[in-house]
Amino acid sequence: MKNIFVVGVGLIGGSFALDIKKLNPECTIYGVDNNEAHLDEAITLGVINEKAGFNDLEKADLVIVAIPVDATLSVLPKVLDAISDNAIVFDAGSTKEDICTKVKNHPKRRNFLAVHPIAGTEYSGPSAAIHGLYKNKTNIICEVEETAFKLQEKALKLFADLGMRIRYMNPKAHDKHIAYVSHLSHISAFMLGKTVIEKEKNERDIFDMAGSGFESTVRLAKSSPAMWTPIFEQNKTNVIETLNEYISNLKHFKSLMEDGNFEAVYNEMETTNHIKDILNGIQ
Amino acid sequence: MKNIFVVGVGLIGGSFALDIKKLNPECTIYGVDNNEAHLDEAITLGVINEKAGFNDLEKADLVIVAIPVDATLSVLPKVLDAISDNAIVFDAGSTKEDICTKVKNHPKRRNFLAVHPIAGTEYSGPSAAIHGLYKNKTNIICEVEETAFKLQEKALKLFADLGMRIRYMNPKAHDKHIAYVSHLSHISAFMLGKTVIEKEKNERDIFDMAGSGFESTVRLAKSSPAMWTPIFEQNKTNVIETLNEYISNLKHFKSLMEDGNFEAVYNEMETTNHIKDILNGIQ
């Protein structure tokens, strides 16, 4: 693969660019982005080699679409329109059903692989791009059977070179489960941050009282609203379901406290301690 | 200070023991704990030098009480009964009002300093004790004026040697604000863990989908129920208040999603992004 195009030169696209360049020093990384300042920054930082436009996509061997999921719905069909028959295109969005539906009948559907790398940080933009972001991370691939076998192979070789492990799912199941293990965490962090800021807005010194526990729990509240708003919009039904269950669990915990039933409060926590084993499984 | 007693040889007491021994290699660290296995483990790990009992406390120069806050209510008066007039005793509990009230009229009240070091990890027991836990951490001291000046000085010298920064508060204000920046984070993490475990209990593979974001947000759900249940019990009123506000914010976010008002969803997150500046202040 010689000509690699990254549409969206932020954290996700930029981190792919850095590692692909390292794996294939002879390739050229082209950046496509409607934010001109990001393209300039990406060149300065060595994340991409050159700026490019949709007209250049015909020479692409690989196109990575790493933009907010609402933009992907309009941009991905245009990318598929512009590429040659031999190019492989994958996205990196945190929702999969709407995107798969959108390109279901596109004449170049078999050039597209629906991908969700479970990797990232709370930072965004080209300066957030880092080497090794994808090493040992899970990569979820949806509707793999809809992608041409030879192009699947190319993409899977790349993911293997990056050190990723692959999981196959259908888009509906992906969106349902990712609402629990990713989207809900973001809302719980944002609302924790909001609750504390509202309460303490006139007492800045109070944040001296906050330790690493608060910092860890609220970390995702630094995330980009431009990225997360369309994710919540596309995954609205599933996310609302997780919120209902989360709110219900919080209310139950509160009612146990109100009743002075601290044996039950203890049990709630002890049962959930089991998360240790699960998290050990992640690492 | 030659004879240092640590009542409760877990993460908090053990970490004090390790650093105090490093600062004063000639001192002897005595461990007091009703868990005999923990005492043996603490000796093996080099966290303490010797086991001891309440009868030995009369020779103490310093006693650190680092046990669950409900146990502190019964143990602290006994410690004060047993010490000499020249000993300084401090606790490390995450609630301060009940403890200060409990010893308010104790004849040795002036030997006690009410302390809350904002430091810890999600682990517990002697093996969780680490060097340097308190470096650059905030240490909240309550009712400092109730402690004899010479004994205050001893404790403050120690905290300075450990690299801690001091904040003075009254116990009521401490308990109110710590409910927001610490206690609520723990409940939000425990209930997030519960919500995900309940949903996904039959689908262990799903946790392959969980990334570092989920891990960070749910980390505190590994915490010890034995430590946290009495904290929630003692700080019940404040914690319930924070839960009401947190639940109300979550419901509001959900209703914005249900109404399809994603501009407002964006604004909710953008406003809370300000947490970045606050967290930068912590670090």
**Helix crossing, A11-23 with A149-161: angle to 10°?**
90
CB contact under 8 A, A222 and B181: no
Cα A38 to Cα B170: distance, rounded to the nearest angstrom: 49
| Percent of chain B residues past pLDDT 70, beyond the cut | 97
| Percent of chain A residues past pLDDT 90, beyond the cut | 87
Mean pLDDT of A63-75: 97
Residue A58 bridge partners (DSSP): none
In the structure, what pLDDT confidence band is assigned to residue A276 with cuts at 50, 70 and 90? confident
Q: Find how far residue A83's CA is from the centre of its chain.
A: 24
Among all chains, which residue has been given the structure tokens 């989920």? Answer: B214
Mean pLDDT of B242-254: 97
CB contact under 8 A, B187 and A250: yes
Cα B81 to Cα B58: distance, rounded to the nearest angstrom: 9
* A8, A9, A11, A15: CA torsion to nearest 10: 120
The sheet carrying A50-51 orders its strands as: A50-51, A28-32, A3-7, A62-65, A88-91, A112-117, A138-142, A165-169
**Helix crossing, B225-234 with A262-272: angle to 10°?**
140
CB B39 within 8 A of CB B51: yes
CB B83 within 8 A of CB B110: no
List the domains of chain B with CATH numbers: 3-171 (3.40.50.720), 174-282 (1.10.3660.10)
Decide if pLDDT at B16 tops 60.
Answer: yes
Contacts of A267 in chain B (CB under 8 A): 225
Residues contacting B81, CB < 8 A, separation 6+: B108
Residues contacting B139, CB < 8 A, separation 6+: B115, B116, B117, B118, B159, B164, B165, B166, B167
Cα A253 to Cα A185: distance, rounded to the nearest angstrom: 18
ipTM here: 0.91
Mean pLDDT of A184-212: 84
Mean pLDDT of A175-180: 94
Decide if pLDDT at B278 tops 80.
Answer: no
Q: How many residues does chain B have?
A: 283
Q: What is the pLDDT of residues A211-237, one digit of tens each?
A: 888 888 999 999 999 999 999 999 999
In this predicted structure, what is the pLDDT of residue A282? Answer: 55
Helices (H), B124-261: 149-161, 171-178, 184-200, 212-218, 225-234, 236-258
In this predicted structure, what is the pLDDT of residue A67? Answer: 97
Which DSSP symbol is given to A125? S
Report phi then psi at B157, rounded to 5. Answer: -60, -45
CB B268 within 8 A of CB B250: no
Q: Which of A180, A217, A268 sits opposite B220 (nearest CB)?
A: A217
Which DSSP symbol is given to A65? E
| Two tokens, residue B229 | 């249940």
CB A218 within 8 A of CB B208: no
In this predicted structure, what is the pLDDT of residue A27? Answer: 98
Q: How far is B90 from chain A (nearest CA, A)?
A: 18
CB contact under 8 A, B281 and A243: no
Tell me the residues of chain A between 137 and 156 that have a Cβ less than 8 Å away from chain B.
137-138, 140
In this predicted structure, what is the pLDDT of residue B85? Answer: 97
B136-145, B200-209, B251-260: least confidently modelled range? B200-209
- Which string of b and e fits B162-186 if b means at least 16 CB within 10 Å? bebeebebebebbbbbbbbbbbbbb
Decide if pLDDT at B283 tops 60.
Answer: no
Cα A152 to Cα A171: distance, rounded to the nearest angstrom: 17
Kind of pairing between the strands at B138-142 and B112-117: antiparallel
CB contact under 8 A, A250 and B278: no
Q: Which of A181, A207, A243 sits opposite B209 (nearest CB)?
A: A181
Mean pLDDT of B217-235: 94
Q: What is the pLDDT of residues B180-216, one digit of tens each?
A: 999 999 999 999 999 998 887 766 667 778 888 888 8
In the structure, what pLDDT confidence band is assigned to residue B167 with cuts at 50, 70 and 90? very high
Decide if pLDDT at A280 tops 80.
Answer: no
Decide if pLDDT at B282 tops 70.
Answer: no
Decide if pLDDT at B123 tops 90.
Answer: no
Mean pLDDT of A114-140: 94
Decide if pLDDT at A40 tops 60.
Answer: yes
Decide if pLDDT at A204 tops 80.
Answer: no
The helix (H) or strand (E) run that includes residue A11 is helix A11-23
A193-202, B46-55, B179-188, B273-282: least confidently modelled range? B273-282
In the structure, what pLDDT confidence band is assigned to residue A127 with cuts at 50, 70 and 90? very high
Cα B273 to Cα B277: distance, rounded to the nearest angstrom: 8
Report phi then psi at A88, rounded to 5. Answer: -110, 135
CB A247 within 8 A of CB B243: no
Q: How far is CA A163 from CA A88, A135, A137, A160, in A?
A: 19, 5, 7, 5
CB contact under 8 A, A217 and B119: no
In this predicted structure, what is the pLDDT of residue B275? Answer: 83
In this predicted structure, what is the pLDDT of residue A60? Answer: 98
Cα A206 to Cα B193: distance, rounded to the nearest angstrom: 27
Q: What is the pLDDT of residues A262-273, one digit of tens each?
A: 999 999 999 999
Decide if pLDDT at A166 tops 80.
Answer: yes
Q: Which residue of B has its CA nearest to A179?
A: B196
Contacts of B275 in chain A (CB under 8 A): 193, 196-197, 218, 221-222
| Percent of chain A residues past pLDDT 70, beyond the cut | 97
CB contact under 8 A, B185 and A218: yes
